[in-house]
Chains A and B, each alone.
Chain A
Amino acid sequence: MANKKIDWSPKNWPKLLFQLFTSFKLATVVLVFMTLITLYGTLAQVELGLFAAKKLYFHSFFVIHDFWGTIPMILPGGLLLMIVLFTNMVFGAIIKSRKRWRGAGLLISHTGMLMLLASGFVTWAFASDGYMALYPGMKSDRVESYRKWQFEIVPLKDDGSAENVWILPSDELSSIRPDEKRVYQTDALPFSIVINGFSINATPVPLSAPISASAKGKEIDGFKLVPQDPAKEAAANFPGCYVEFQPKEEGAKPIEAIISAYSAGFGPGEKPMPFQFEVGGQKYGALLAKKSWKVPFEVHLDEFIFDRHPGISMARGYESKVTRLEEGKPEKAIEIKMNEPMRYEGFTFFQESFGPAGSQPGDRMYSQFAVANNPADQWPLYSLIVTSCGLGIHFLTMLVQFIVRSRKKHAPAKS
């Protein structure tokens, strides 16, 4: 049988593209690659940790994967695959498919899956997450990022209090390479800021420590900054950098410092200690702090209840009794438990964990809430309902057909 000749002329390209994006073959290839990427991304978590593996394999367009640790190969990343799959489903399963009753189940289930992919995209693009930790009696409206750090310069008043913070945003800060030097100037400050030797995870060590001999950076006040391998848990990274504050006033000497998040205490209610210096008679503080943002209401932790199974250290449950405080609105008492979050004004507060680590019964403990703001929060639920209905209708139809056909086949043999 002769092969059909394909018309490759440009005027036929839209048709060819439509054929490609509606084909089962493309769907099959994408699904195979998605399985592979999911497998490799899962295995990579052992070495890289979840955050790095997720970024490399699932939030990427392409990934270079070393097969058996030695043979590098380019694979499509999760993001690209999901975009292609979404397009394939829209064109193939929704637009091109024949609209008939027999195919209703498939049409519905594919619509559900499209909703799920769309919710994944909205979450990836627009959702934010952070945490709020409170000891009983404390209140806050500030949510901190798990992983993002920013550089802050704070003009200090005589009493040590601060206002008008100058911030180098976390995305800009994390884009500085360890071997790179960047200069920042602003009219708000009478000095320029030179950052170099930035490391996502670093420890300041005294020169007396043997490990300091191997560190390349400059010695400042008897300390060096020793870069560490990024932690597997991205939240366990403590960034650090060398900073030079260069006064704009001519002839003034620059001030050098090692700024490290490692020394900062970040328990609930604890404020990081800034590096203090003076330029033009004004005191300033410089520090690395976790990126934070406000929610439009305050949460007061009234009581934290931590319950263990009798006789063992395993947690049976933990819950926080909180009061939500909002200007112009009555106070509202709420319980936040495992599997029972508080949803309000687009923010969801989940009972995430507790601390400090190693607390014993009777110790003063803080409660930590994961705080998420996700416009697609409930979309997966809606998509599940749609998909289940679709698949249910389709497979039930198939099963009935199969049984009827089997019965028919057996019928003549019996007679």
Chain B
Amino acid sequence: MKIRPFFLLPILLFTVGITSAREVPQANLESYQPWSENTVHSFENLLVQDGGRVKPIYSYARFTLLQFSGKSTARFASNDGEKHSLHYSEWLLDVLFRGDVAKELPIFVVDDSAVIVQIGVSPKSKRDRYSYSELAAGRAKLADLGAEYAEKQRKHQESEKDPQYELERVEGMILTLGRNISAFEYLLGQFSFARKGELLVNENILPPELLKLAATLDPIEMLDKMPEMTLGELVQVIRQPDTGDEDSRMFAGALRLFFFYANSARGLSLISPQDNEDETWISASDAMLNGLESKEIRPWATEQLKGLQSLIEASGEDEATFQKALTQFSDDQREKATPRGEGTRSHLEVQLYRGKYFMYALYAFVFAFVIMAFSWFSPGSKFGRIMLLIASLIALVGLLLDVYGITLRCIIRQRPPITNLYDTVLFITGTAVLLGLLIEYFTRLGVGTLIAIVAGVLGMFLSMKYEAKEATDTITQLVAVLDTNFWLATHVTIINIGYAAGLVATLIGMLYLAGRFFVTLAGKEAKDFFKVLTRINYGVICFCLFFSLIGTVLGGIWANYSWGRFWGWDPKENGALMICLWTLVILHGRMAGWIREIGVHMNAIVLGIIVTFSWWGVNNLGVGLHSYGFTEGVWGTLYASWVVLGVFLLMGVFSWIDERAKKSARREDSTPKEAEPTSD
């Protein structure tokens, strides 16, 4: 019976159905006016210092929206029935310059409606996205609960993870939501000082007389006229009891308002420092408070604040004016930053995210898989061979996209390919795909391409999931011990090549065991094919041993240089050691005659379990010198993957039992009837 590709149709329809059935959250907006492309482009090039480095605001917007929403686009429908999908930089433009609109956008993801119920707001569905305005009614309750759970979390850390202080799932979500709302409020209130009394957030904490004062008070002008005062003195004056004197009441009120504006403007460091020796950029809040503290820097601080004010003023006019103001601001920033060597590669960072190389790599691998599937309809035929070649070439394109993205990341941060856990995903995926394609080049069996495609799909999918889950910048600054390009380029790179080879061995093992299982079930044989698979896997395991062993010893030498000991039985070191040991078990077990074909592949599956434990698991034990790679919720995924690998092991056991039964039957057939079995 010929297999027709019709079985793909229901899958396609199901996928399309699921996609189209996804409801777009409703925003309480009559209509939505999108920003022009030029405005967005001008905005993207602004520089901001965040996470210890100067980066384009484009990246900052991306990870901020990911953190709030779990997605890098804000999708919603306005009341006029139109659906919108905002790019993260458009969304941040709204937050900073059209706060009233941003407050209505449903961007806060809540995975469990119990969170919403607990803060006293009416929930929508079990998992949904809410706007700031929708959550506003529960803001006070959210703050109270957030403070309570933050304290609990602190105790949990201080008590070395005492279970009584462990946060429940919903408590953790409330804490996260509270922090996200708070971060959003800081963004909304960033430029309140320049809005002439238009307060977008926290206006309820100000008494009516201050709200009235806010309409007339210009904090920048005020700064110019005020006496020198430290933050401590400012707080002291604000806290002084009311003396009944109108002037001092007015003065205290003005100071309260100044403090309110300064406090709202924290967090977004858009201003490069006055002193060229100083590396720390400042926010509008810092400019206000530093200016208040010293008359010497006041003119400079005032000038910076006026620069920001001009942006706000221009945002109220036509878009061309606003775009011009943004460009001017960006030019001013770069004029100061470039001589300091800051932001010089920000255009590459924008290119990296705009290019979506890793997403397109995933598409390429998926597409290659579909093409490859066509080759199975007629394996060995000309059509099959052409399909296989096309699939291999598309997989190569996927690999090149991955490599290009990795290279851009290397150039942006001037570091070797791997500096954090996210980088390992990209690098290991690329290495595994390359290995698969090399296997294909040498064997021309289709196996290598399949391995490359599967590794590519899984790896790229994992990278996207990881990025969305962590929702923090993946181009990170390094802790002191990692500040060495030599060891990052040698030990870290080599050990990760070892991981990749271990995972390729696992994939080959899975392919072999599944193949053997189904071939056995079908009562057929494909001995030669399986023998070649075993030889390939043996080679890959040797490759894995070579790189894991060299990488592990190099890691020891690095540890000896930085910590004073070659080996400390640290979990990460042990993970790498276990990979070396298990590959040695396979090689020696094979020489001992204990491990044959099925054994090699079953042990390759065990190797996969060890590699995933070493790669992800040990970071999450919470002990040792390498625990900086902690990832929330990774154990569930690891256990699931081990269960899947366990299923393949069971298939192996089945095939092994079947093989032994067949061998024993053959032996019985070939034994002369009169021969008696020997006894000990």
Binding site for B on A (CB under 8 A): 2-3, 23-25, 27-28, 31-32, 34-35, 38-39, 41-43, 45-46, 49-50, 53-54, 58, 116, 119-120, 123, 129, 232, 309-312, 314-318, 338-341, 348, 350, 352, 370-372, 374, 377, 380-381, 383-384, 387-388, 391-392, 395, 398-399, 402-403, 406
Contact = CB atoms under 8 A, between A and B. Distances in A.
Interface stretch (B19-27, B36-44, B244-252, B583-591): B583-591
A120 B539 contact: no
Main secondary structure of the interface of B (DSSP, over half): helix
Contacts of B564: 129, 341, 348, 350, 352, 370-372
B484 interface: yes
Contact of A384 (B269, B550, B563, B589): B550
Nearest to A42: B574
B680 interface: yes
Nearest to A5: B680
Interface in B48-103: 49-53
Q: Which 8 A-B pairs have the closest CB atoms?
A: A309-B52, A24-B592, A310-B279, A370-B564, A350-B564, A384-B553, A372-B564, A24-B591
Given A42-B575, A392-B546, A54 B592 contact: no
A371 B563 CA distance: 10
B577 interface: yes
B582 interface: yes
Given A341-B564, A372-B564, A35 B585 contact: yes
A248 B193 CA distance: 81
Given A31-B588, A387-B549, A54 B569 contact: yes
A33 to B, nearest CB: 10
A2 B618 contact: no
B477 A45 contact: no
Interface residues of B, number: 67
B553 A387 contact: yes
A339 B562 contact: yes
B49 A311 contact: yes
Nearest to B594: A28
A24 B588 contact: yes
Given A120-B567, A399-B539, A391 B550 contact: yes
The CB with the most chain B CB atoms within 10 A, among A38, A39, A123, A398, is that of A38
Given A42-B621, A58-B569, A317-B480, A380 B553 contact: yes
Nearest to A407: B442
Interface in B491-510: none
Contacts of A403: 442
Given A25-B592, A310-B279, A339-B562, A315 B557 contact: no
Nearest to A57: B569
A403 to B, nearest CB: 6
Contacts of A352: 563-564
A350 B588 contact: no
B585 A338 contact: no
B418 to A, nearest CB: 17
Interface of B: 49-53, 160, 269, 279-281, 442-443, 477-481, 483-484, 487, 535, 539, 542-543, 545-546, 549-550, 553-554, 556-558, 560-571, 574-575, 577-578, 581-582, 584-585, 588-589, 591-594, 610, 618, 621-624, 678, 680
A319 B133 CA distance: 50
Nearest to A392: B546
B629 to A, nearest CB: 15
A384 B563 CA distance: 19
A248 B369 CA distance: 89
27 contacts: A2-B678, A24-B588, A24-B593, A25-B592, A27-B592, A28-B592, A32-B585, A35-B578, A35-B585, A41-B574, A42-B621, A43-B621, A45-B621, A46-B621, A46-B622, A53-B569, A58-B569, A310-B53, A310-B280, A338-B484, A374-B565, A380-B553, A384-B550, A387-B553, A391-B549, A395-B542, A402-B535
A398 B591 contact: no
B285 to A, nearest CB: 13
A398 B567 CA distance: 31
A353 B584 CA distance: 37
Contact of B484 (A39, A316, A339, A399): A339
Nearest to A311: B280
A395 B618 contact: no
Nearest to B625: A50
A348 B564 CA distance: 7
Given A31-B582, A339-B558, 5 more contacts: A35-B581, A310-B280, A311-B281, A339-B487, A391-B545
B396 to A, nearest CB: 20
B543 A50 contact: no
B565 to A, nearest CB: 7
B550 A119 contact: no
Contacts of B561: 339-341, 350
Given A24-B591, A381-B557, A314 B52 contact: yes
